[in-house]
Structure 1
């Protein structure tokens, strides 16, 4: 499955069917689910730590320039020119991925306060899947080339607004956009 959205849906639906067959009222099973969820989070963090080590070891100081578009809800904002290195960009992407992975507070609320146990099982699977399908993992663990969808800066997944308007809101890497942003003085390091 090449489309992550479809594979997420298939895995979620499959995991829900499996979760229905698990006796969620058995305290022993609930403890196993807790251990499995925490283990999947720890494994994902270890994978990201390994990726960070590989990025630092490669120390790719190739300059990367791109223009972040202005936020659509802020008419006064201007596009921002970003000049960084491949190493710093990849480390920032890993940092974003780690932040999105750590949904422990939300899980603690769902499980501890609302007593839902199915999300422990499903999120344990989905967290590992998203870690292994992340762009940094594809580049630094699986050794794929940084071209197409893996070209830096990474393109964000298309949202509803993009599909309706046909406009891409991701970073722009063309020379004209970079030159215009340099003239406007929207530099960032």
Structure 2
């Protein structure tokens, strides 16, 4: 089961469980609020820890790939030349940005709109997303960056698993380098 499908299944299951929770009770609501805050702080803490591990490791191995082309435009993908360190820091930054956006949305949904069920659901999803993170697998669980964990990471894809992924083959990189050379002339 891919990540999008498992997220959907967990969300639907959590919604069913959330219906049974008595959010009208102020004590229960406070417990759910505390759980949400603790989970979000834990997720951010793990990402900050991973950032420090990436910086300490300082892997300067050159990484070249062609970004997946945007299906909405006819432009080909662009060539990216970076290091493993910079790539991983960019990925951690994206993950942390996602957490902060989720916190902002939850502040609006719960603080302004007074919805309570999303607090419970997002507590579970925060832990699930942390578990699915490839950087957590590499830097916390200590697995080598091979196979599915090889950089650049493949896109998550949609519900059916279809997603464009970066091209790392030599032919695609050479083709992108030729395009760049032609544009500079």
Q: Fold conserved (TM > 0.5)? A: yes
State the Cα distance separating 1:13 from its structure 2 match. 3.5
Where does residue 90 of structure 2 map in the other structure?
92
Query: Structure 1 stretch 118-127 or stretch 106-115: which is displaced more?
Result: 106-115
- Superposed, which structure 2 residues align to 1:163-178 within 5 Å? 163=162, 169-178=164-173
State the Cα distance separating 1:162 from its structure 2 match. 7.1
Where does residue 61 of structure 2 map in the other structure?
62
Query: Structure 1 stretch 39-48 or stretch 24-33: which is displaced more?
Result: 24-33
How far apart are the structure 2 equivalents of 1:21 and 1:8? 20
State the Cα distance separating 1:5 from its structure 2 match. 3.6
> If the length of structure 1 is used for normalisation, what is the TM-score?
0.87
Deviations 1:50-94 (A, max 9, x none): 11111111111100000013322223x332110000010001000
How far apart are the structure 2 equivalents of 1:169 and 1:135? 17
| Cα distance change, pair 72–124 in 1 and its aligned pair in 2 (3 A) | same
State the Cα distance separating 1:22 from its structure 2 match. 1.6
**Does structure 2 conserve the Cα–Cα contact (< 8 Å) formed by 1:68 and 1:79?**
yes
**Does structure 2 conserve the Cα–Cα contact (< 8 Å) formed by 1:162 and 1:169?**
no
How far apart are the structure 1 equivalents of 2:133 and 2:160? 23
How far apart are the structure 2 equivalents of 1:53 and 1:173? 27
What stretches of structure 1 of length at least 5 have no aligned partner?
Answer: none
Aligned length: 181
Where does residue 104 of structure 2 map in the other structure?
105
> If the length of structure 2 is used for normalisation, what is the TM-score?
0.88
Where does residue 80 of structure 1 map in the other structure?
78
State the Cα distance separating 1:111 from its structure 2 match. 1.2
- Superposed, which structure 2 residues align to 1:1-189 within 5 Å? 3-75=2-74, 77-102=75-100, 103-159=102-158, 163=162, 169-185=164-180
What stretches of structure 2 of length at least 5 have no aligned partner?
Answer: none
State the Cα distance separating 1:160 from its structure 2 match. 6.2
SS of aligned partner of 2:73:
coil
**Does structure 2 conserve the Cα–Cα contact (< 8 Å) formed by 1:94 and 1:136?**
yes
| Cα distance change, pair 162–34 in 1 and its aligned pair in 2 (3 A) | closer
State the Cα distance separating 1:46 from its structure 2 match. 0.2
